[in-house]
Structure 1
């Protein structure tokens, strides 16, 4: 690129010099009124061309000498800080016996959940404060602009609504199965399906604390670090979720603690599968975050996806029929009820309708991915 600009620079200088030499020789060779008139006309036209040439010369000169602004931090620094944030989020979960699951202590025990929520919230506070200071000091900007890069401000209520609507389109099949086939739409209208899970610590972790803390660290902070390093938006979409996926690999160790005699192949398959779908979700969340610039939009989408779970990709549509309540085991913790259910298959028509709606939802989702994520708050353009 620099060699090309250099050649354009030299060509322009040579052209200007030739025009000036031609002008002087043309004026010197003519005498008489008629010839002088012709020379004057040529002089005017040549001066105009020369002026245009000088403008072009200056533009070429500016293009040749103009340099891209340096990134605020290097790529290596961005990667190292991202790894540090990931470790700070995960490692404290296993530093205490109070938060380390075992065959006699479930990860769903209220004491474990409470300790872990405090640990990850502390990690979020430390990482956010450090990244906020780094943006202000390196970028020589205000704290309000730094909050803008972190996606905390503006709130983006329209972006939240559009993001949830887009995600709901993708989950049309799930919404049909649960809402229509199983008849849960009545509970949705009364907000019962939202309120009941939040009365238990497991629901609070899955739908509130988890989405908030994970999106703060793995979207707001890590994406901001990569933007400061001037990494391309496409690379950020596909690379930054790897930290998010790796952060879930610790569930292999967690599952091994609680299921010591489970086959190694089962544990590896479970971990690889979890890494895969968390990474895929991370691609979507990172794209959504860069396009909308709203941290609260991706938090809402994350919570919605946790509520839905993975949609059915095979098998017939079934209905969960409650049988009797059971007790979730814990160690020296308050007990809270769960339910055993029996699955009952519905008619084949429900299954056909489900898969048609599932595919239709995916097609519409893909067609509306760019229009519904367009926002003036976008952090990057693709």
Structure 2
């Protein structure tokens, strides 16, 4: 079967989108990394969010009109392929439940062991933090929205229409997503010149591996649910959780240094953590296909 869009063209567009997303960040002194200004400076974050929002909008519009052309379809069909409409509220809830199972242990450590549940009960303080702090807004709102609109909604439909295999869509395209974060190595070297080169390289390699792995998961979820909202929320949640602890003990916040039973209690609470870590991963794997099944799916597998 001939496709109006070749696979090389689709991957070429994905690569071009990545450059459109990243390069403008270095076009202005307001967005470039600087030794005398933190990456978390509010004025820098505001400028960068504005820049990537424009870049994402431009790339999304390009995909929208390409899909209209290659599919000879309506605006609704293009939006459907890009995951914008229908929203997929049910799919989003099930996907969040699935991701919560995978992060059962970190959630337990955060909410129970560290006592963050009190901040939610006392007035949704974590949400106020996201609203008031620019770094939190970047990490949990602007970043997930712009990256998923670009690397999922604007890229995946093109690869599908080009006839790319599901394996390539899921596992190969996230490499580009991972490479889009490599420029953080340069920024880190500029803002942290005292850090040894080996440590900076190791940090960048770890970030590349993590973002590529997450990109594969996000592609899988996007193809299975057909919902952009679902992957945006999963992205925001994963950013807030970070990498799960895989060693060490957890210590409840209510135990004082002088508590004679602290060591024994720490072992108990740590045991619960690791049971949830492996049990949550098992529950996630067993329900991966069940909770992502949807009539909105962009591909059946």
Compare 95-104 and 142-151 and name the one that shifted more: 95-104
What's the offset of the Cα at 1:261?
3.1
Name the counterpart of 1:174.
106
What's the offset of the Cα at 1:194?
2.1
Pick one of 226, 230, 236 that aligns with 2:163. 230
Contact 2:251 2:266 in 1 (8 A): no
Name the counterpart of 2:51.
119
| CA RMSD, 1 decimal | 1.5
Task: Report the Cα distance in structure 1 between the residues aligned to 2:281 and 2:167, rounded to whole angstroms.
Answer: 22
What's the offset of the Cα at 1:78?
0.6
The structure, 1 or 2, with the larger RCO (C-alpha pairs under 8 Å, 6+ apart) is: 2
What's the offset of the Cα at 1:318?
3.7
Matched, 1:272 2:205: yes
Pick one of 204, 211, 225 that aligns with 2:144. 211
Name the counterpart of 1:105.
37
Task: Report the Cα distance in structure 1 between the residues aligned to 2:32 and 2:199, rounded to whole angstroms.
Answer: 21
State the structure with more CA Rg.
1
Contact 1:207 1:307 in 2 (8 A): yes
What's the offset of the Cα at 1:363?
0.4
* Partner SS state of residue 291, structure 2: helix
Matched, 1:370 2:289: yes
Pick one of 350, 359, 364 that aligns with 2:269. 350
What's the offset of the Cα at 1:240?
1.5
Task: Report the Cα distance in structure 2 between the residues aligned to 1:285 and 1:349, rounded to whole angstroms.
Answer: 34
What's the offset of the Cα at 1:147?
0.5
Pick one of 164, 177, 195 that aligns with 1:262. 195
* Distance verdict in 2 for CA 1:320–1:281, change over 3 Å: farther
What's the offset of the Cα at 1:198?
2.1
Matched, 1:159 2:91: yes
What's the offset of the Cα at 1:195?
2.2
Please give the per-residue CA displacement for 1:151-210, whole angstroms capped at 9, x wherever unaligned: 101001001100100000000001111111122212234422222232111111111100
Contact 1:75 1:226 in 2 (8 A): yes
Please give the per-residue CA displacement for 1:1-23, whole angstroms capped at 9, x wherever unaligned: xxxxxxxxxxxxxxxxxxxxxxx
| Runs of at least 4 residues off by over 6 Å | none
Unaligned runs of 5+ in 1: 1-67, 322-343
What's the offset of the Cα at 1:319?
5.5
* Partner SS state of residue 372, structure 1: coil
Matched, 1:250 2:169: no
Contact 1:154 1:294 in 2 (8 A): yes
Compare 312-321 and 74-83 and name the one that shifted more: 312-321
* Distance verdict in 2 for CA 1:114–1:319, change over 3 Å: farther
Name the counterpart of 1:307.
240
Task: Report the Cα distance in structure 2 between the residues aligned to 1:192 and 1:137, rounded to whole angstroms.
Answer: 47
Task: Report the Cα distance in structure 1 between the residues aligned to 2:9 and 2:25, rounded to whole angstroms.
Answer: 25
Richer in strand (by share): 1
- Report the TM-score when normalising by structure 1: 0.74
Unaligned runs of 5+ in 2: 255-261
Contact 1:233 1:381 in 2 (8 A): no
Contact 2:39 2:45 in 1 (8 A): yes
Task: Report the Cα distance in structure 1 between the residues aligned to 2:244 and 2:76, rounded to whole angstroms.
Answer: 40
* Distance verdict in 2 for CA 1:320–1:75, change over 3 Å: farther
Contact 2:177 2:212 in 1 (8 A): yes
Task: Report the Cα distance in structure 2 between the residues aligned to 1:249 and 1:75, rounded to whole angstroms.
Answer: 24
Task: Report the Cα distance in structure 1 between the residues aligned to 2:292 and 2:272, rounded to whole angstroms.
Answer: 28
Please give the per-residue CA displacement for 1:81-128, whole angstroms capped at 9, x wherever unaligned: 110000000111111111112221011001100110011000111101
Contact 2:140 2:240 in 1 (8 A): yes
What's the offset of the Cα at 1:320?
7.0
- Report the TM-score when normalising by structure 2: 0.94
